[in-house]
């Protein structure tokens, strides 16, 4: 059995899974819903909040800490994004983004972005179902009638209208932004209580969203599903509309905080932090996800003007979608973390070359679940072969340190794609097949 050094554990492959939703359509337009709820005393002898929605079982600790001006990246790191993580709300952090004005209108979005593909789910969640892929225009023509929900990579052209709050504009955060997602529905969505693998700045553009936030240290009390392999995310089996306190009395012991977002506001949802979300009214949100690393290098912060308005199209994301792309790559790993992990593995081995064997060590540390069945061994060996085959572009059987450092990020992404199925359908080759890799 291999000893797992602490720093390797931190390289664990984390994949974020947007964890939706079911809905109460009748409430979709109820913009005035009372939140946090008024706790009703029990007159029946049953526990307070029994068979009521989450949040009715005890008073909240208070609102999530709020700021009217986003923190600097270093402040965000020191006060909220260094373990233990603490969520926060930024009021009007993206108020200057054109999206906050323009995306109030379906017509505007349809005319400008209708030809871009998005992944679409049913508002009523079916965990077995794969999302559909369709042009945004087709979605907008049908989403109210069909109860559809866009949960997709924010297409590249739309990034130009979205603002990046200053908190992410320098240091380790900026270098490790993974992806941005678009969330669009007619409202009335309701997520499960869940957590994701990455830090997330969730910014509201249209409608209203209510958040219940719970520290992950209470996971034993929340009937969580087993984590999926490779995944840093999970969800609770609890029925968010009917908390059964006879079978789950411990829910009454869980402290929670709350936030309501209106257009222009953002909430920082730390990696691993439990949250439950309800939307009211036509709902448009854009999220920015980045990796929760255990260090913060601020060396570029002194020379970066974080107070200059910066559009999301002006920062680099690892996973993106533009028209014509075959894949809509949601929820993949941070490939720079993989690159660093491989460099570390070479260092540990005192080797100047990354061989398949060393890659295998890294893979075993970073990917293989210790408790999982031995039966998967064959699959892992095959995966190691295939991934190393992609990285070893020169087909020499090794990669030098320098070769790895300068390896194109697209090659790393090709390797990472093997680790997980694509989130949605791949574009069909309806046109010229030679443009497949566009
Ligand atoms: C490095 O890895 C190779 C396998 O590729 C192994 O044979 C060798 O013993 C390792 N060396 C060190 C110093 O760990
Ligand atoms: C790697 O080299 C260093 C210094 O040369 C040495 O102290 C260490 O034991 C070596 N590690 C392995 C695994 O051989
Ligand atoms: C491939 O070979 C070139 C030329 O020798 C070298 O510069 C590059 O780093 C190598 N790439 C990899 C991934 O090994």
Summarised one tens digit per residue, pLDDT across range 126-148 is: 666 789 999 999 999 999 999 99
pLDDT bracket for residue 233 (50, 70, 90): confident
pLDDT digits (tens, 9 = 90+) for 355-373: 999 999 999 888 776 666 5
pLDDT digits (tens, 9 = 90+) for 268-279: 999 999 999 999
Same domain, 245 and 388: no
Is the CB–ligand 3 distance for residue 397 below 6 Å?
Answer: no
Whole-number Å distance between alpha carbons of 106 and 114:
10
pLDDT digits (tens, 9 = 90+) for 308-350: 999 999 999 999 999 999 999 988 889 998 999 999 999 999 9
- The Å distance, Cα 351 to ligand 2 centre, comes to 10
Same domain, 251 and 381: no
Same domain, 289 and 365: no
Same domain, 157 and 289: yes
Q: Is the Cα dihedral 409, 414, 418, 420 positive or negative?
A: positive
DSSP E strands, 68-219: 88-90, 117-122, 132-135, 148-153, 177-185, 189-190, 194-195, 199-214
Whether 135 is covered by a domain: the verdict is yes
CA-wise closest residue to 251 among 219, 211, 213: 219
H/E stretch holding 332 reads none
Which residue's CA is the closest to the ligand 1 atom numbered 4? Answer: 357
Whole-number Å distance between alpha carbons of 98 and 96:
6
User: Which pair of structure tokens corresponds to residue 428?
Assistant: 């069909």
Whether the bond between 207 and the residue before it is cis, its omega within 30 degrees of 0, is no
Ligand nearest to the CA of 360: 1
Task: Give the CATH number for residue 195.
Answer: 2.60.120.650
Whether 438 is covered by a domain: the verdict is no
Task: Give the CATH number for residue 344.
Answer: 1.10.238
Is the CB–ligand 1 distance for residue 398 below 6 Å?
Answer: no
The percentage of residues in the chain with a pLDDT greater than 90, rounded to a whole number, is 73
Whether 116 is covered by a domain: the verdict is yes
The percentage of residues in the chain with a pLDDT greater than 70, rounded to a whole number, is 87
Same domain, 215 and 308: yes
Can you give the three-state secondary structure of 293-322, one letter per residue?
CCCCCCCCCCCCCCCCCCEHHHCCCCCCCC
Is the CB–ligand 1 distance for residue 355 below 6 Å?
Answer: yes
Same domain, 310 and 338: no
pTM of the model: 0.86
**Count of beta carbons in the 10 Å neighbourhood of residue 421:** 8
Whole-number Å distance between alpha carbons of 90 and 166:
11
Q: Is the pLDDT of residue 302 over 60?
A: yes
pLDDT of residue 22: 42
Beta-strand pair 62-63/257-261: parallel
Is the CB–ligand 3 distance for residue 96 below 6 Å?
Answer: no
- The Å distance, Cα 419 to ligand 3 centre, comes to 24
pLDDT digits (tens, 9 = 90+) for 181-218: 999 999 999 999 999 989 999 999 999 999 999 999 99
Same domain, 84 and 143: yes
CA distances 435 to 117, 256, 281, 431, Å, are 17, 51, 40, 8
Same domain, 150 and 182: yes
Which residue's CA is the closest to the ligand 3 atom numbered 7? Answer: 403
Whether 350 is covered by a domain: the verdict is yes
Q: Are 220 and 214 a contacting pair, CB within 8 Å?
A: no
Whole-number Å distance between alpha carbons of 225 and 207:
30
Is the CB–ligand 3 distance for residue 317 below 6 Å?
Answer: no
| Single residue among 260, 282, 314 that ends a domain in this structure | 314
- The Å distance, Cα 343 to ligand 1 centre, comes to 14
Select from 354, 356, 400 the residue to mutate for testing ligand 3; criterion: most ligand atoms less than 8 Å from CB.
400
CB environment 299-332: b (16+ within 10 A), e (fewer): eebeebebeeebbbeebebbbbbeeebebbbbbb
Is the CB–ligand 1 distance for residue 351 below 6 Å?
Answer: yes
- The Å distance, Cα 284 to ligand 1 centre, comes to 52
pLDDT of residue 3: 33
pLDDT digits (tens, 9 = 90+) for 395-431: 999 999 999 999 999 999 999 999 877 777 877 654 4
- The Å distance, Cα 346 to ligand 2 centre, comes to 11
Which residue's CA is the closest to the ligand 3 atom numbered 11? Answer: 403
Whether 111 is covered by a domain: the verdict is yes
Q: Is the Cα dihedral 191, 193, 197, 198 positive or negative?
A: positive
> What SS3 state is found at 413?
helix
Select from 351, 392, 393, 403 the residue to mutate for testing ligand 3; criterion: most ligand atoms less than 8 Å from CB.
403
Which residue's CA is the closest to the ligand 1 atom numbered 5? Answer: 357
Residues paired with 62 in a beta bridge: 257
Ligand 3 atom nearest to 393, measured from its CA: 13
Which residue's CA is the closest to the ligand 3 atom numbered 13? Answer: 403
Ligand nearest to the CA of 345: 1
Same domain, 294 and 359: no
Residues paired with 88 in a beta bridge: 268
- The Å distance, Cα 352 to ligand 2 centre, comes to 13
pLDDT of residue 215: 97
Select from 346, 357, 365, 384 the residue to mutate for testing ligand 1; criterion: most ligand atoms less than 8 Å from CB.
357
Q: Is the pLDDT of residue 15 over 50?
A: no
Q: Is the pLDDT of residue 166 over 60?
A: yes
Residues paired with 306 in a beta bridge: none
Whether 362 is covered by a domain: the verdict is yes
Ligand 1 atom nearest to 351, measured from its CA: 1
Q: Are 329 and 321 a contacting pair, CB within 8 Å?
A: yes
Ligand 1 atom nearest to 357, measured from its CA: 5
Q: Are 280 and 92 a contacting pair, CB within 8 Å?
A: no
Q: Are 150 and 53 a contacting pair, CB within 8 Å?
A: no
Whether 47 is covered by a domain: the verdict is yes
Tally of domains in the chain: 2
pLDDT digits (tens, 9 = 90+) for 246-267: 999 999 999 999 999 999 999 9
pLDDT of residue 228: 54
Beta-strand pair 257-261/353-355: unpaired
Same domain, 215 and 350: no
Same domain, 261 and 339: no
Same domain, 64 and 195: yes
Cα 124–Cα 127–Cα 129 angle in degrees, nearest 5? 85
Whether 251 is covered by a domain: the verdict is yes
Is the CB–ligand 1 distance for residue 358 below 6 Å?
Answer: yes
User: Which pair of structure tokens corresponds to residue 264?
Assistant: 């222009």
Q: Is the pLDDT of residue 20 over 60?
A: no
Q: Is the Cα dihedral 412, 17, 276, 134 positive or negative?
A: positive
pLDDT of residue 427: 77
Range of the domain at 360: 6-10+334-417
Q: Is the pLDDT of residue 57 over 90?
A: yes
Q: For residues 421, 331, 192 and 161, what is the CA-based torsion angle, rounded to 10 degrees? A: -140
Phi-psi region of 190 (alpha: psi -120 to 50; beta: other; left: phi over 0): beta
Residue 331 φ then ψ, to 5°: 75, 20
Whole-number Å distance between alpha carbons of 219 and 227:
12
- The Å distance, Cα 349 to ligand 1 centre, comes to 6
User: Which pair of structure tokens corresponds to residue 262?
Assistant: 């209106």
């Amino acid at each position: 059995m291999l000893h797992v050094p602490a720093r390797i554990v931190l390289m664990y492959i984390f994949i974020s899974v947007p964890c939706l939703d079911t809905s109460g359509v009748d409430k979709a337009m109820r913009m005035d819903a009372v939140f946090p709820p008024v706790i009703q005393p029990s007159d029946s002898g049953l526990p307070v909040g029994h068979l009521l929605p989450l949040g009715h079982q005890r008073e909240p600790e208070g609102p999530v800490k709020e700021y009217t001006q986003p923190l600097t990246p270093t402040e965000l790191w020191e006060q909220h994004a260094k373990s233990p993580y603490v969520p926060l709300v930024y009021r009007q952090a993206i108020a200057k983004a054109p999206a906050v004005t323009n995306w109030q209108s379906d017509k505007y979005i349809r005319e400008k972005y209708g030809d871009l593909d998005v992944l679409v789910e049913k508002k009523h969640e079916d965990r077995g179902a794969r999302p559909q892929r369709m042009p945004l225009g087709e979605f907008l023509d049908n989403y109210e009638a069909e109860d559809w929900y866009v949960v997709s990579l924010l297409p590249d052209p739309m990034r130009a209208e979205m603002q990046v709050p200053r908190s992410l504009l320098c240091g380790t955060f900026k270098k490790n932004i993974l992806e941005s997602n678009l969330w669009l529905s007619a409202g009335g969505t309701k997520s499960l209580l869940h957590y994701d693998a990455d830090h997330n700045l969730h910014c509201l553009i249209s409608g209203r969203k209510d958040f219940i936030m719970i520290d992950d240290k209470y996971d034993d009390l929340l009937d969580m599903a087993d984590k999926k392999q490779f995944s840093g995310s999970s969800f609770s089996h609890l029925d968010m509309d009917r908390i059964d306190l006879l079978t789950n009395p411990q829910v009454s012991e869980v402290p929670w905080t709350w936030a309501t977002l209106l257009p222009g506001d953002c909430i920082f949802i730390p990696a691993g932090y439990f949250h439950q979300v309800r939307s009211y009214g036509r709902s448009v949100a854009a999220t920015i996800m980045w990796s929760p690393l255990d260090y913060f290098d601020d060396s570029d912060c002194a020379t970066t003007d974080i107070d200059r308005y910066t559009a999301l199209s002006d920062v680099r994301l690892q996973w993106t979608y533009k028209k014509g792309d075959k894949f809509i790559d949601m929820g993949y790993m941070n490939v720079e973390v993989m690159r660093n992990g491989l460099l570390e593995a070479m260092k540990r081995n005192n080797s100047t070359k990354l061989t398949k064997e060393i890659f295998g060590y890294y893979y075993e540390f970073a990917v293989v679940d210790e408790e999982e069945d031995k039966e998967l061994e064959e699959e892992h060996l095959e995966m190691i072969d295939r991934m190393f085959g992609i990285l070893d572009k020169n087909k020499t059987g090794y990669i030098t340190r320098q070769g790895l450092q300068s390896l194109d990020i697209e090659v790393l992404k090709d390797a990472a794609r093997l680790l997980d199925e694509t989130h949605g359908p791949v574009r069909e080759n309806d046109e010229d097949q030679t443009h497949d890799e566009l």
